[in-house]
Amino acid sequence: MKLITVGKLKDKALTALVDEYVKRLKPYEKVEILEVADMMAPESNSDAQNEQVKKIEGERVLSKIKENEYVILLDLWGESITSEQLAAKIEKIYTYQSSNLTFVIGGSLGLSPELVKRADFRWKLSDCTFTHQMVRVLVLEQFYRATMINRHMPYHK
C-alpha cells in the first residue's frame, strides 16, 4: 500500500500515530508514504492562481503514480463507505484488479481535474472537515482496520 500526500507532516503527535499504524501494518502489508511539496497559497490568491496551485500539486502527485496502481483518491465529492465496505473493496481490488493500491491525499486547495480523472475510486472520508495531516492518520487507521476485517482479526470491534 502506498500513501501519497501533498505537504509534509509536521506535528509530532500525528507523526507518532502514523508511525504506530505503519508498525501495526508491518506484519501484513508494506506501507510506503510519499510526500510531495505543497505550494504556498495565500488567501489573496485569485481563482486562477488557486487552479494553478492545484495543477502543479496534482502533477507532482501524478508523477509518483505508476500505470498499474489502483488509486483511491480522498475527495470531498467522493463516495462515503463504511469500514466494512472499505475492507470488501480492498479485498476485491487485491483479488481482481491490482496488488498495487495507492491512496492519495491532495493539497489544501483541493484536487486538480487531472488527478480526479486518474482516480479509480473517490473516497469521501467524512462529512466533517479534517486537516490534511489528520487525514493521513485516519486513512492509515482505516486501512489497518480493513486489513484486520479481511483477516478476521478482532481489532475492528
74 appears as a binding residue in the annotation: yes
What is the arrangement of strands in the sheet containing 70-79, beginning at the earlier edge strand? 32-36, 2-6, 101-105, 70-79, 121-123
User: C-alpha distances in angstroms, 88 versus 49, 99, 123, 136, 154?
Assistant: 40, 14, 14, 21, 16
Residue ranges for the known binding site for S-adenosyl-L-methionine are 74, 106
